[in-house]
Structure 1
Amino acid sequence: MTVPPITDMAPMKLVIVGHVDHGKSTLIGRMLHDTGSLPDGKMEAVKAMSDRRGMPMEWAFVLDALQAERDQGITIDTTQIFFKTPARPYVIIDAPGHKEFLKNMVSGAASADAAILVVDAKEGVQEQTRRHGYILHLLGLDQVVVAVNKMDLVDHSQARFDEVAGEVHKYLGSMGITPAAILPVSARHGDGLAVKSTNMPWFEGETLIASLDTLPPKPMPVELPLRFPVQDVYKFDERRILAGRIESGKLNVGDTLLFSPSNARAKVQSIEAWSVDGPVLSASAGQSIGITLDDQLFVERGNVASHASEPPVQTNVFRARIFWLGRAPLEVGRRYKLKLATLEHPVEVQAIERVIDVSDLSERPADRIERNEVGEVVLRARAMLSVDEFTDNPRLGRFVLIDGYDMAGGGLVSMDGFHDLRRANAPTSQNITAVETRITTDARWAANGHKSGVLWLTGLSGAGKSTLALELEQALFRKGWQVYVLDGDNIRFGLSADLGFAPEDREENIRRVGEVAALFARAGILVITAFISPYRSDRDRARAVAPDLFHEVYVNAGLAVCEERDPKGLYKKARRGEIAEFTGISAPYEAPEAPEVEVETGSLSLAQSVEQLLGYVEANFATKGS
């Protein structure tokens, strides 16, 4: 391995990927030689090694530091190599091409600023080429230079180069990646690497080295919101020092920090840095520091410090695009350890929404994700997690899953269809005092002749919630009960007329309904609500308002049944893309895990469904003599 150059300029990190045997190691070895980056004696050692094996100069031996790699002729681990050009220094992360070693490729590409994708001119785009291209897309690497290698094996044909270049351009373009350059090279002979090739006068573009020198450096995420994951807490004398690495943003002494997920706040009293003379007043992304606070908060590893104005998302459920590398397939219900920054927490696979074929980017439904497949899943944790959407802040938007002791997959966070669960615990208005009624709930029940409560009907649109609620209301009213229906459409005309249908609006709508329903129930009325209420967290919050009075009713009809009924024509509009965030189509529905009662309206008649609910109501709400 070469010695890193002495320079004040930060090196650009490059990952080299490509199908096995497409010549990545040869390309890197020759590039190091042609830029004068090999240490003294290395070239002679490689030539002697090649001679002993009775083969021509093998540039791949520059990198193959492991005996096992030379014996097998494949790269099995990531290797970091330093080299420099007159323009700037580089760090090359040589990632393996063989599919058995994709874990190393993922970990190598995750830290890169740009990528070189190597494609064999004779073989063209192969399965691993597509898989590696997709991983680059998955990791958010959009600076890609494509080297069409081994042009000597196709007689330096311009037609063949154009054919391969077109195929690569089409595939990368389908993922939104525009290559910075696609160029022909012959790594073994040095054609097109550091100097233009006389064998390919038809190519008017730059050399590989010149193309790399034109790539803009990846800016440090200083301008992104502050994210300071706590790695450890140290106690020195009377001080408690929170240590970690600033992943994005910057902080100053005196800043007020918000710690997630506890929502505790404190000011930065000091910044502690190693091997620094004098006080440190500020720090920014990329720096490993310690901080002390003006308040002795309980903070632990995995907590994230941010500024209160721009906190991370707080959630216990999110979507993720997963590249699966585990020995056993990923399946619904399986639990894994999620590692995100310094956080480690168990998560459960709630749903597998689709598997993506990396060869043509087609999608298909599946109940499992096999090794080396890509899929979109929903993950759920029992505790609140602090995350960012990958598109907003990759530093807290990228994670890995651990199965046992092995890294089983890598993924990106998406909050599409879900909302931030961060909530202030205190009401916005401070000058208020709760007023207690003088009439007890028992007295109301005695006067009405029955108990009160909330029957919370949840289910997909078209499952029959409103129809069932209205029929139940009428049947109970005929019996003399104090009963009232709160229906989604009616609430939207009044109480929630100011809300749309984005996830945060849905959340606020259900919050309002939960509070109103609890007021009805405390007034002695049996209130029946009919709302899709797709998120478990929202229903749990509604239950928490009056837990002793809340009864969850799952009106269960499958998507196919509801879509066939489609009483309001909403599914047809959603399928045409006319309704965004429509539950069951473009937004998720989280079925209840343990409802008090489940009514199978997909198989039961309306009369049977009402009869089942009436039986439940009489068993749980009727008083003696009613």
Structure 2
Amino acid sequence: MTATIQGTAPLTIVIVGHVDHGKSTLVGRLIHDTGSMPDGKLEAIRAMSEKRGMPFEWAFLLDAFQAERDQGITIDTTQIHFKTETRPYLIVDAPGHKEFLKNMITGASAAAAAVLVVDAVDGVQEQSRRHGYLLHLLGVRQVVVAVNKMDLAGYDAGRFAQVEADIRAYLASIGVEPLQVVPVSAREGDNIARRSDAMPWYQGPTVTGALDGCMPPPPPVDLPLRLPVQDVYKFDQRRILAGRIESGSLSVGDRILVSPANKSARIASIEAWNAAAPVTTASAGQSVGITLDEPIFVERGQIVSHAETAPVETNVFRARLFWLGHSPLRQGRTYKMKLATGEFPVEVERVETVIDVGDLSLSANEAVERNGVAEVVLRSRSLLALDEFQRNPRTGRFVLVEGYDIVGGGIVSMEGYPDQRAQRTVVSTNIHAVESRVAMEDRWQKNNHKSGVIWLTGLSGAGKTTLALALEHELHRKGYQVYVLDGDNIRHGLSADLGFSPDDRAENIRRVGEVSALFAQAGMIVVTAFISPYRADRDHVRDIAGTLFHEVHVKADVATCELRDPKGLYKKARAGEIKDFTGISAPYEPPQAPELVVDTANQSIEQSVAELLAYVTTHFRLTTKTAAAG
């Protein structure tokens, strides 16, 4: 027998499944068989059933609305406590009918585990798949499957094996491995809290036994500190930051970081009303006010954390999203995103996949219809502070709003995208810029041409290195001071310590951007050949180099590049030998407004080089005004 977990908070579980597969019946029987039935409730259910001239109906325990009793469906989430010898539970019975999926999501959003109910006779239905995928979408990874109505299937082991194989195959296809698949009869009480004599061929745990095997989530206090700022109040000379601590804890004297502003200070005090003694610590779940030892500017929606466990800073992220709006979600549309206390306009930059949860088919549609599930890329005009859902659910969930209506909800994934915080954080102190005594314009006069950074970006195989080397050769022949920085060469030296994760890619481009800007300031034309997949990284290099930066999109689609595959990288990526390969398993964000587009998919190398030479001749020649200034 499993030892009792003393003093623990209830484990929240959600019960989901097809409208007719017996969820509410299973919940009613579960409450009764664990001895958690409220006094008088059994008699009340019996009276309800007799009044309607129907057999005893366990579902009446939870179906609180008259409309539910009349229609035989659950239209809202219902919560009730029960306990086993191991621990207490808070169970959420979630609607199964397609029209009430919004309430189902509400019920599942806070669950640590789930019971997915599947009818042994009907088998895995479209709604079963839909609910299974939504559990995956909402990050519920601990799933117990109850194959119900085994009494109607004659307690047949063969039928159970078939349904078990079907549901396991489906869940595996979305990356979910059920903890247990249990054959049950909710009506008769088989394998709910006691083992069934009718199914001696099944040797696994009961439903309650399987649930007792679920791991509780880490308490919010054990997660990194997240205090979304609700408001800033001014009392006397104090500025009090008020909000609810979503996770972690804080103490007076802690050095905190405010994101995405990247401002740091120490907590001077924790303000409390009617407190008998000064408050020195606070933790998750408490609403607090804090003052800081420095007058930094803080706004509603920003997040307070400890510096060593700060949230992600980004203006772009992936989202697994369920759409509830009457009008379709469309690529290119802007919606208001609510995350913690913040509200931000975000654009649907890309609808990557729309998932048909009925057959798991994927489509590349640019719109998501009502009740649709999709994986999308959202982009904000400004930096956001957030967390990946798997790291901290408290600041990894969001909703989308259109007008005054919530039209979608989802969870944050940074898969394929870097944390942009490092690029915007200067760690060095006591440093001073050194100005050269040779003006850049004087170098131009000496070289007889302007300097700059010609930044070639595009997919692997698009022809960046080939073009860069050819351009360098032609420009050198014509007397230009020019040099090529290529990705492979840089990674043998300057970036030899970096891998190919999103964060390492971002750091590699930051380094190259700084070096390129120095080359340009020294009067050189530097030609770079880097995939540089992230728009934010290229924009950062543009900020570094200023007007010296010239972005050139070497344009070729994945199919063209894969057909060329000069280094055999696409083949390895398709075989799973290369992780985070741009265009296959990692994103490429093409430039929105490059200075030049060179379409290597539709023109020869010679034509492309000629196009680049013409650009340099036009934009790097010395004008009369420049010459006069020299």
TM-score of the two chains, using structure 2 as the length reference? 0.89
The aligned counterpart of 1:156 is 155
Whether the 8 Å CA contact 2:262–2:425 is kept in 1: the answer is: no
Please tell me the residue identity of whatever aligns with 1:240. Answer: R
Identity %: 65
Residues 209 and 528 (structure 1), Cα distance of their counterparts in 2 relative to 1, 3 Å cut: closer
**Higher mean C-alpha displacement, 45-54 vs 525-534:** 45-54
Please tell me the residue identity of whatever aligns with 1:540. Answer: D
SS in 1 for 2:381: strand
The CA distance in 2 between the partners of 1:31 and 1:163, in whole Å, is 25
Instruction: Please give the per-residue CA displacement for 1:572-610, whole angstroms capped at 9, x wherever unaligned.
Output: 232233333222222221100011121222212233323
Shift of 1:90: 2.8
The aligned counterpart of 2:262 is 263
The aligned counterpart of 1:134 is 133
Residues 53 and 424 (structure 1), Cα distance of their counterparts in 2 relative to 1, 3 Å cut: same
Shift of 1:560: 1.6
Whether the 8 Å CA contact 1:323–1:373 is kept in 2: the answer is: yes
Number of paired residues? 620
**Higher mean C-alpha displacement, 38-47 vs 519-528:** 38-47
The aligned counterpart of 1:503 is 502
Shift of 1:202: 5.1
The aligned counterpart of 1:305 is 304
Task: Give RMSD over aligned pairs.
Answer: 2.9
Residues 66 and 296 (structure 1), Cα distance of their counterparts in 2 relative to 1, 3 Å cut: farther
- 2:451 equivalent to 1:452: yes
Shift of 1:366: 4.2
The aligned counterpart of 2:108 is 109
Whether the 8 Å CA contact 1:556–1:598 is kept in 2: the answer is: yes
**Higher mean C-alpha displacement, 493-502 vs 457-466:** 493-502
SS in 2 for 1:602: coil
SS in 1 for 2:384: strand
The CA distance in 2 between the partners of 1:375 and 1:503, in whole Å, is 22
The CA distance in 1 between the partners of 2:496 and 2:117, in whole Å, is 56
SS in 1 for 2:566: coil
- 2:592 equivalent to 1:611: no
SS in 1 for 2:422: coil
**Higher mean C-alpha displacement, 378-387 vs 492-501:** 492-501
**Higher mean C-alpha displacement, 460-469 vs 586-595:** 460-469
SS in 1 for 2:537: helix
SS in 2 for 1:544: helix
The aligned counterpart of 1:435 is 434
Please tell me the residue identity of whatever aligns with 2:385. Answer: S
Residues 293 and 58 (structure 1), Cα distance of their counterparts in 2 relative to 1, 3 Å cut: same
Residues 248 and 490 (structure 1), Cα distance of their counterparts in 2 relative to 1, 3 Å cut: same
Whether the 8 Å CA contact 1:332–1:367 is kept in 2: the answer is: yes
The CA distance in 2 between the partners of 1:72 and 1:390, in whole Å, is 37
The aligned counterpart of 1:341 is 340
Residues 367 and 425 (structure 1), Cα distance of their counterparts in 2 relative to 1, 3 Å cut: closer
Shift of 1:128: 1.1
The CA distance in 2 between the partners of 1:192 and 1:354, in whole Å, is 39
The aligned counterpart of 1:598 is 597
Shift of 1:514: 1.7
Q: Counterparts of 1:365-514 in structure 2 under 5 Å?
A: 365-423=364-422, 427-514=426-513
SS in 2 for 1:618: helix
The aligned counterpart of 1:232 is 231
SS in 1 for 2:74: coil
**Structure 2 alignment gaps of length 5 or more:** 1-5
Shift of 1:87: 4.9
The CA distance in 2 between the partners of 1:141 and 1:273, in whole Å, is 36
Instruction: Please give the per-residue CA displacement for 1:123-160, whole angstroms capped at 9, x wherever unaligned.
Output: 12211112212222222323333332223322333443
Shift of 1:422: 0.7
Instruction: Please give the per-residue CA displacement for 1:557-581, whole angstroms capped at 9, x wherever unaligned.
Output: 2222222222333322322333332
The CA distance in 1 between the partners of 2:201 and 2:518, in whole Å, is 80
Whether the 8 Å CA contact 1:273–1:288 is kept in 2: the answer is: no
Instruction: Please give the per-residue CA displacement for 1:333-378, whole angstroms capped at 9, x wherever unaligned.
Output: 2222222222321222222333445456565544444444433322
The CA distance in 2 between the partners of 1:201 and 1:469, in whole Å, is 72
The aligned counterpart of 2:250 is 251
Residues 159 and 287 (structure 1), Cα distance of their counterparts in 2 relative to 1, 3 Å cut: farther
Please tell me the residue identity of whatever aligns with 1:222. Answer: V
The aligned counterpart of 2:49 is 50
Residues 125 and 551 (structure 1), Cα distance of their counterparts in 2 relative to 1, 3 Å cut: same
Shift of 1:57: 2.7
Residues 567 and 67 (structure 1), Cα distance of their counterparts in 2 relative to 1, 3 Å cut: same
Residues 253 and 55 (structure 1), Cα distance of their counterparts in 2 relative to 1, 3 Å cut: same
Q: Counterparts of 1:43-192 in structure 2 under 5 Å?
A: 43-85=42-84, 87-192=86-191
Residues 195 and 527 (structure 1), Cα distance of their counterparts in 2 relative to 1, 3 Å cut: closer
Please tell me the residue identity of whatever aligns with 2:135. Answer: L
The CA distance in 2 between the partners of 1:275 and 1:131, in whole Å, is 50
Residues 185 and 525 (structure 1), Cα distance of their counterparts in 2 relative to 1, 3 Å cut: closer
The CA distance in 2 between the partners of 1:505 and 1:611, in whole Å, is 34
SS in 1 for 2:578: coil
Shift of 1:19: 0.5
The aligned counterpart of 2:3 is none
SS in 2 for 1:321: strand
Instruction: Please give the per-residue CA displacement for 1:467-510, whole angstroms capped at 9, x wherever unaligned.
Output: 32333334334443333333333333443334333333322222
- 2:551 equivalent to 1:552: yes
The aligned counterpart of 1:4 is none
Whether the 8 Å CA contact 2:423–2:510 is kept in 1: the answer is: no
**Higher mean C-alpha displacement, 8-17 vs 251-260:** 8-17
Shift of 1:539: 1.0
The aligned counterpart of 1:322 is 321
The CA distance in 1 between the partners of 2:84 and 2:484, in whole Å, is 74
SS in 1 for 2:520: helix
Instruction: Please give the per-residue CA displacement for 1:244-271, whole angstroms capped at 9, x wherever unaligned.
Output: 3333322222111111101111222233
SS in 1 for 2:335: strand
Whether the 8 Å CA contact 2:335–2:400 is kept in 1: the answer is: yes
SS in 2 for 1:319: strand
**Higher mean C-alpha displacement, 550-559 vs 523-532:** 523-532
The CA distance in 2 between the partners of 1:273 and 1:12, in whole Å, is 31
Residues 471 and 99 (structure 1), Cα distance of their counterparts in 2 relative to 1, 3 Å cut: same
The CA distance in 2 between the partners of 1:126 and 1:600, in whole Å, is 47
Shift of 1:175: 4.4
The CA distance in 1 between the partners of 2:302 and 2:479, in whole Å, is 54
TM-score of the two chains, using structure 1 as the length reference? 0.90
Residues 365 and 429 (structure 1), Cα distance of their counterparts in 2 relative to 1, 3 Å cut: same
Whether the 8 Å CA contact 1:187–1:193 is kept in 2: the answer is: yes
Residues 571 and 204 (structure 1), Cα distance of their counterparts in 2 relative to 1, 3 Å cut: closer
Please tell me the residue identity of whatever aligns with 1:519. Answer: L
Shift of 1:214: 5.1
Residues 332 and 77 (structure 1), Cα distance of their counterparts in 2 relative to 1, 3 Å cut: same
The aligned counterpart of 1:528 is 527
Whether the 8 Å CA contact 1:226–1:305 is kept in 2: the answer is: yes
The CA distance in 2 between the partners of 1:197 and 1:578, in whole Å, is 48
Shift of 1:16: 1.1
The CA distance in 2 between the partners of 1:204 and 1:499, in whole Å, is 51
Residues 397 and 426 (structure 1), Cα distance of their counterparts in 2 relative to 1, 3 Å cut: closer
The CA distance in 1 between the partners of 2:36 and 2:494, in whole Å, is 70
Please tell me the residue identity of whatever aligns with 1:407. Answer: I
Whether the 8 Å CA contact 2:137–2:411 is kept in 1: the answer is: yes
Shift of 1:386: 1.4
The CA distance in 1 between the partners of 2:364 and 2:242, in whole Å, is 44
The CA distance in 2 between the partners of 1:11 and 1:431, in whole Å, is 52
Whether the 8 Å CA contact 1:220–1:286 is kept in 2: the answer is: no
